[in-house]
């Protein structure tokens, strides 16, 4: 009996000394595999059709910094265009250096950039540059009013009326938590839709945006866009935005996107 007990305990010792470490090793290998599979594979980035010749540069505003008064004030426009937008461009030029995107046009960067942009420097600043370039052209002194032509008809058909569209768009802009943008876009099905994106993301970021499409109208709801004049009253800024929308430009974007 004593011999059998000795054998049994020997067997148990063997089990705990050899088998258990083996089991544990297998478990930890499985865990490592799980962690590895959670990291997305490096994306294959298709080359663009054309390469960019020089660095990104700050586009002119196209109107005087005071031209949108009283709806958007002069100092906000100055700081927004000359400092914020310029900083996105400086950081974008710096961010793409030595990367696959070094010579890519902005649209090609946006459509190819993925969440695997470790420090998000390219994503944030490419988005920042595109969004602001688009925003300045969306605004115009003495503008506002109503959309015309095919866009007006489509807005009525898609949202019920212009007022209902305005309400939905305003709600999307109010609903952005923290910093971001509200958009009116045309989807791949050629239908209008309203969406919002956080930070400097936009609907052209095919690998990132929840809803992708071609923006025709966009509103910057970062505090830097309105805080000097409106402080915490973002809804008042959104209402004021409708007085300076360049519907002629938005209508042209609509017509181009529908082709």
Contacts with Mn ion, residue ranges (CB under 5 A): 220, 222, 225
**How far apart are CB 115 and Mn ion at their closest, in Å?**
22
CA 218/CA 164 separation, integer angstroms: 17
Strands, E, within the chain: which ranges? 180-186, 192-198, 214-220
The nearest distance, CB 165 to Mn ion, in angstroms, is 23
Indicate the residue among 151 and 204 with the shorter CB distance to Mn ion. 204
Residue 94 CB, shortest distance to Mn ion, in Å, is: 19
Query: Closest CB to Mn ion among 86 and 171?
Result: 86
Residue 123 · residue 208 · CB < 8 Å:
yes
Q: Burial, 228: exposed, middle or buried (Cβ in 10 Å; 0-12, 13-18, 19+)?
A: middle
Contact 69, 85 (CB under 8 A): no
Closest to Mn ion by CB, 106 vs 152, is: 106
Quick one: 77 or 96, whose CB is closer to Mn ion?
77
Q: Which is nearer to Mn ion, 112 or 132 (CB)?
A: 132
For residue 137, the minimal CB distance to Mn ion (Å) is 14
Of 144, 128, 141, which is closest to residue 81 (Cα–Cα)?
Answer: 128
Alpha-carbon distances of 237 from 38, 59, 117, 223, rounded to whole Å: 42, 24, 33, 10
Q: Quote the CA–CA distance of 122 and 132 in Å, as a whole number.
A: 15
Smaller CB distance to Mn ion: residue 108 or 220? 220
CB of 189 to Mn ion, least distance (A): 30
- In angstroms, give the least distance from the CB of 44 to Mn ion: 32
Residue nearest to Mn ion (CB): 220
- CA dist 155 and 119 (Å) reads 38
Nearer to Mn ion, 155 or 245 (CB): 245
The Cα 111–Cα 122 span in angstroms is 12
Q: DSSP secondary structure string, 15-45?
A: IIIIIHHHHHHHHHHHHHHHHHHHSPPPPP-
Minimum distance from residue 57 beta carbon to Mn ion (Å): 18
């Amino acid at each position: 009996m004593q011999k059998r007990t000795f054998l049994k305990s020997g067997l148990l010792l063997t089990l705990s000394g050899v088998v258990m470490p083996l089991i544990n090793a297998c478990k930890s290998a499985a865990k490592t595999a799980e962690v590895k599979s959670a990291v997305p594979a490096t994306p294959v980035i298709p080359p663009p059709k054309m390469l960019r010749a020089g660095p990104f540069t700050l586009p002119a505003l196209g109107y005087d910094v005071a031209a949108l008064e009283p709806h958007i004030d002069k100092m906000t426009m100055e700081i927004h265009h000359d400092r914020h937008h310029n900083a996105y461009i400086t950081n974008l030029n710096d961010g793409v250096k030595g990367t696959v995107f070094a010579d890519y046009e902005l649209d090609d960067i946006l459509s190819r950039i993925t969440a695997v942009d470790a420090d998000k420097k390219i994503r944030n600043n490419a988005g920042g540059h595109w969004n602001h370039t688009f925003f300045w052209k969306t605004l115009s002194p003495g503008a506002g009013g109503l959309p015309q032509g095919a866009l007006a008809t489509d807005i009525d058909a898609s949202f019920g009326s212009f007022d209902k569209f305005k309400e939905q768009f305003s709600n999307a802009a109010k609903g952005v938590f923290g910093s971001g943008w509200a958009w009116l876009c045309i989807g791949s099905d050629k239908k209008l839709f309203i969406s919002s994106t956080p930070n400097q993301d936009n609907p052209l970021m095919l690998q990132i945006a929840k809803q992708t499409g071609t923006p025709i109208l966009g509103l910057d709801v970062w505090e830097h866009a309105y805080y000097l004049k409106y402080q915490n009253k973002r809804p008042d800024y959104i209402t004021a935005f409708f007085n300076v929308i360049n519907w002629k430009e938005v209508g042209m974007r609509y017509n181009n996107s529908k082709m």
